[in-house]
Amino acid sequence: MVLQLRVYVPEHPLVKHWLAVARDQNTPSVLFKTAMTELGRWLTYEAARQWLPTLETSVKTPLAECAATFIDPSVPIAVVPILRAGLALLEGAQSLLPLASTYHLGLARNEETLEVSCYLNKLPASFDPATRVLILEPMLATGGSISMAMAEITGRGVDPTLIRLISVVAAPPALQKLSQNYPSLNIYTAIIDEGLNSGGYIVPGLGDAGDRAFGTY
């Protein structure tokens, strides 16, 4: 069986609205962060379809017994925000996955060479093989950071088919790299943009998500 990377771009008016707010250069930092929170929430909602493990049982209503479906609490769920920009998506994701464990991964890109280095790794030594992992990485540009993150996570025992990747803006170079190395991965993004400029930034993109979210630009 030939596996193929799946990239989902939800046709949802709220996703489109908050993406537009985030793209606007005149959006103040506090509203930009709100937009990122909402995008994290709605994209996580979409990613959770047929991904969260469930239990089939029954409950008694005030009138009768009926079939019921619950999220299976025995299957671990992990959220991995890629610092620092991934933190802007975390609140929205956590609102839907309140029982998930959060593991921070700090990656920095050299703006001249575009090489990626890791400055913080709070991932466990190994994951339970059944763990569902949600990666939060707002910008998929060159693919360097997300490739390092995927290597760290899969190297700790996570099946790529159980990983869901949330981004706000994705570019072809990153998607091509992920398709080659992790063809079973599922990605949820608000938009796929046309490409990168000479500095490795997505065009039209939305600028530096970390700086805009935390007011450091």
Count other C-beta atoms under 10 Å from residue 57's C-beta. 9
Per-residue pLDDT tens over the stretch 31-48:
999 999 999 999 999 999
Q: How many CA atoms lie within 13 A of 64 on its CB side?
A: 2
Bridge partner list, 7: 187
Question: Which pTM does this prediction carry?
Answer: 0.92
Q: Which residue has the higher pLDDT, 23 or 115?
A: 23
**What residue numbers does the annotated binding site for uracil cover?**
202, 207-209
Per-residue pLDDT tens over the stretch 77-89:
999 999 989 999 9
| Residue 134 and residue 44 in contact, taking contact as beta carbons nearer than 8 Å | yes
- Domains of the chain with bracketed CATH: 6-52+76-214 (3.40.50.2020)
Q: What pLDDT score was predicted for residue 1?
A: 45
Q: Which residues 6+ apart lie within 8 Å of 3 measured at CB?
A: 183, 184
Per-residue pLDDT tens over the stretch 192-210:
999 999 888 999 999 999 8
Mean local confidence (pLDDT), 95-113: 89
**What residue numbers does the annotated binding site for 5-phospho-alpha-D-ribose 1-diphosphate cover?**
84, 109, 137-145, 208
Q: What pLDDT score was predicted for residue 15?
A: 96
**What residue numbers does the annotated binding site cover?**
84, 109, 137-145, 202, 207-209
